[in-house]
Amino acid sequence: MRDEEIAQHLQEALKSGELQSAQGFGQPLPEDEAWQATPESLRMSFKILKNAGHAPAEVGLFRDKAALQARFAACGDEALRRDLQTQLSQLEQSLSLRLESLRAHAQL
């Protein structure tokens, strides 16, 4: 029932010319480099997660890495900088291992 309502609304918008004024109407979607970089065997599962409002765990690791890098850049205390550098190195190693594991499983 809901799909029929959406289809009807789209038909009405098309007839009234409302859709034609939308940005990008009738043009192909822009290329997504992340989609192309994702192994084909993982694309559908990642798309389902994204559409459901969830991200793969690796996205969280990238966010953590960016936060650590920002803290490191803003830090003036040498002892704390060394600690942050250690944390950042460990996080980068963990992220690299996870990504390599994904690549290896995608090629199976």
Q: What is the pLDDT along the chain (108 residues), one digit of tens a residue?
A: 788 998 898 899 889 988 888 888 888 878 877 777 777 877 888 888 888 988 878 888 888 999 999 999 999 999 999 999 999 999 999 988 988 887 787 665
Q: What is the CA radius of gyration of the chain?
A: 22
Q: What single-letter DSSP state applies at residue 23?
A: T
Give the 3-state secondary structure percentages of the chain, helix then strand then coil, rounded to 5: 75, 0, 25
Residue type, 108: L
Q: Is the pTM of this model over 0.85?
A: no
CA distance 35 to 31: 8
